[in-house]
Amino acid sequence: MKKKFNLENNIQSILKLAIQAGEETLKFYKKPKALNFKKDKSPLTQADLNSNNIIMKGLKRINENFKIISEENKSISYKVRRKWSSFWMIDPLDGTKEFLNKNGQYTINIAYLKNNKPIFGVIYAPYKKLLYYALKNKGSFKHKIITRKKKIKLFNYKNKIECRNYFKKINVVASRSHSSEQDKKWLSKLNNYNLVSIGSSLKLCILADGQADVYPRFVGSSEWDIAAGNIILEEANGQILNLNNNKIKYNKIFLRNKFFIASSNSFLKYKKNNIY
């Protein structure tokens, strides 16, 4: 009889898996890379593929009957996956353009969804050695990772994230590689703000830990880009809503997200008292 998968009992193994995949990408980080392109013309490197293989093999060990939607394994038909009650959603290297530009702002994303809602997520930034994770109703956490001679030490520090409650100037985080005219129109409604450009799912992480307040997204993204960050932000009392003020839906027929506004806890409090 196959053992039933227990998420909470396997969190440490999943965190280590994200770190292992991230450390694999660093092997390619400073080397000349043979670059290919996917059907949508987005870049693909060997680092993406190796990271994906590590995560897939690791999840199979942890969760033998696992189901997965991945940036690199996204061809499963909706007729099949719409019946899934739980599954993993993976982006093995989020921010390939940041990776190629060598600015360190790329991440490994692993999320676990139940009834099409993220209940666990981990985001690892290999170059920065930062790991964020969250479990539904347990809070969000941030760790500094130490790696020595292929050994991973968990953790240098452990910090349960608490958002700041006030600010004098709004910190707006924007995509480094994607922007639009709608971004400019939305920003024009804010009176006093700083604008910081950051790549990958790190944007959602810095919202969660209070380094930024709001992230408007008016260009396309995919479900695996934000699934892990969604639960990390929610467990830090923030939220992601589409432009109709509804929560993001996952495992849709088409795996693209509608435009959205991601808000920290502090920005949600600001909205109650201000028109923007």
Q: What is the domain range of residue 200?
A: 170-273
Domain limit, last residue, from 141, 160, 179 = 160
Structure confidence at residue 106 (pLDDT): 95
Q: In what order do the strands lie in the sheet with 68-70?
A: 68-70, 86-94, 107-114, 117-125, 130-135, 139-148, 151-160
Q: Is residue 2 part of a domain?
A: no
Q: Do both 87 and 126 map to the same domain?
A: yes
Contact residues for 138 (Cβ-Cβ < 8 A; gap 6+): 235
| Distance, CA of 95 to CA of 26 (rounded, Å) | 14
User: Is the predicted pLDDT of residue 185 greater than 80, yes or no?
Assistant: yes
Q: Which stretch of 49-53, 74-78, 91-95, 132-136 has the lowest confidence by average pLDDT?
A: 74-78
What does the block give as tokens for 242? 């589409």
| Residues 197 and 118 grouped into a single domain | no
43 and 92 within one domain: yes
Assess whether pLDDT exceeds 90 at residue 149.
Answer: no
* 51, two tokens: 């990271």
Tokens of 119: 């209940």
CATH number of the domain enclosing 220: 3.40.190.80
Tens digits of residue pLDDT in 138-148 = 999 988 887 66
Q: What is the mean pLDDT of residues 1-29?
A: 89
pLDDT for 157 equals 40
Structural domain contains residue 165: no
> HSE (CB half, 13 Å, CA atoms) of 178?
17
Q: Which residues contact 28 (CB under 8 A, 6 or more apart)?
A: 45, 46, 47, 50
In a domain, 177, yes or no: yes
Whole-number mean pLDDT of the chain?
A: 85
- All residues at 6 or more sequence positions from 17 whose CB lies less than 8 Å from its CB, including other chains: 54, 55, 58, 59, 62, 110
Q: What mean pLDDT do residues 76-92 have?
A: 95
Most confident of 37-41, 150-154, 213-217: 213-217
**Using CA atoms in the order 93, 33, 53, 129, what is the torsion angle rounded to 10 degrees?**
-50
Mean pLDDT for 55-78 is 88
Is 59 strand, coil or helix? helix
| Helix H or strand E encompassing 25 | helix 11-29
**Cβ neighbours of residue 122 under 8 Å, at least 6 residues apart?**
14, 15, 18, 108, 109, 110, 111, 131, 132, 133, 228
Dist. CA 68–CA 74, nearest whole Å: 9
Residue 88 has pLDDT above 70, yes or no: yes
Task: Dig out the tokens for 83 from the structure.
Answer: 């019946």
Same domain, 146 and 220: no
- Going by the DSSP 8-state scheme, the letter that residue 72 receives in this structure is T
Structure confidence at residue 154 (pLDDT): 44
Same domain for 146 and 190, yes or no, is no
| Average confidence (pLDDT) over 74-88 | 91
Q: Check residue 156 and give its pLDDT.
A: 41
Q: Is residue 201 part of a domain?
A: yes
Residue 147 has a pLDDT of 67
Q: Which of 131-135, 151-155, 266-270 has the highest mean pLDDT?
A: 131-135
17 and 150 assigned to the same domain? yes
Residue ranges of alpha helices (H) inside 148-276 are: 181-187, 202-208, 223-234, 265-273
1 assigned to some structural domain:
no
Q: What is the pLDDT of residue 64?
A: 84
